[in-house]
Amino acid sequence: MSIVEVGRGKREGWRSGFRDLDQILRGDRTRPSTLQEGELPIEVPRVTRAIVLLCVAYGLCMGVYALFAERGPEPRQVLACMVKVPLLFYLTLLVTLPSLYVFNTLVGSRLTPRSVVRLLTATLGVNVAVLASMGPIVAFFSACTTSYPFMVLLNVAVFAASGFLAQMFLLQTLQRLSTGPEIAGTPVDPSLEAPPAVRPATDVFPDRHVRTLFRVWLVLFGLVGSQMGWVLRPFIGNPDVPFAWFRPRSSNFFEAVFGALRSLFS
């Protein structure tokens, strides 16, 4: 009986993680009235589970290319992809989070460590949800494309697009977090009560330094993430090279993307 209840509880836990993520995407968790406490009302472990599962799902879509390789399917590559995509995001976060927190404190931000973690979890959730939603497109092209450079560039484009949307969300939420406590005593504009996850950026931003810091951090996150992707490679798996869990450390991500572009056009 208790095993059944534990199982039901776990299922409910997974479901609520996705429900939270859905509400973040819809903008329900980032309404000015809900941000008046100065932090996002989300449960980090619950959302994290949903994020990991979505990363695994995208890894599966990405790994489809290895299943249709000319030399025969390589299920180990699919497995590697499913493990590496969540690792890519969380290792990048691990590398960049300490510097963000320190600089955040230095510029005098009102964000506490807990609210920074919540904000970044929500941002990662948006990033990964958009990424996973493009999974079917990636899986479709992976199944019918033999060109390795094309798949590399398509995946880079998909990661870039989802990252771009996530950074829009981060900056927008940051703006609302900064204005939230100040408008606590004033009536909330009805048009702002149910805003989407993102709204076109405005110049009204009292905490300019924090915003600049997060912008710089986003660039850093992108750079570290790109190189982390390079260190953790292969994700897609070059069909001309035998399978390996990791490749030797050489070159860098940007050189590789440039190489893929050159190879596609030659």
Partner 1 sequence: MTMVQSLLTRADAVLREGSPAVEAPHASWRSRLAVLIVFGATYGAVMGSYGDPPGGRPLQMAYSATKVPLMLAASFAVGLPAFFALNTFFGLRDDFPRVVAALVATQAGLTVILASLAPITAFVYASGIDYRPAILFNGLMFATASVAAQAILRRSYRGLILANPRHRHLLRTWLVLYVFVGVQMGWLLRPFIGDPGRPTQFFREGGWSNAYVVVIEMVWGVVVGPSPRAGG
**Interface residues with partner 1 (CB under 8 A)?**
22, 25-27, 68, 126, 129-130, 132-137, 140-141, 144-147, 150, 165, 169, 194-199, 264-266
Q: Phi and psi (nearest 5°) for 205? A: -155, 105
In the complex, minimum distance from the CB of residue 246 to partner 1, in angstroms, rounded to a whole number: 27
User: Toward partner 1, which CB reaches closer, 48 or 133?
Assistant: 133
In the complex, minimum distance from the CB of residue 156 to partner 1, in angstroms, rounded to a whole number: 15
In the complex, minimum distance from the CB of residue 125 to partner 1, in angstroms, rounded to a whole number: 11
Question: How many whole angstroms separate alpha carbon 18 and alpha carbon 193?
Answer: 23
In the complex, minimum distance from the CB of residue 12 to partner 1, in angstroms, rounded to a whole number: 22
User: Toward partner 1, which CB reaches closer, 52 or 231?
Assistant: 52
Residue with tokens 């599962």: 53
Angle (CA) 36-42-44 rounded to 5° is 135
Check whether the bond before 234 is cis (ω within 30° of 0).
yes
Residue 8 burial by Cβ neighbours in a 10 Å radius (0-12, 13-18, 19+) = exposed
Q: Phi and psi (nearest 5°) for 132? A: -65, -30
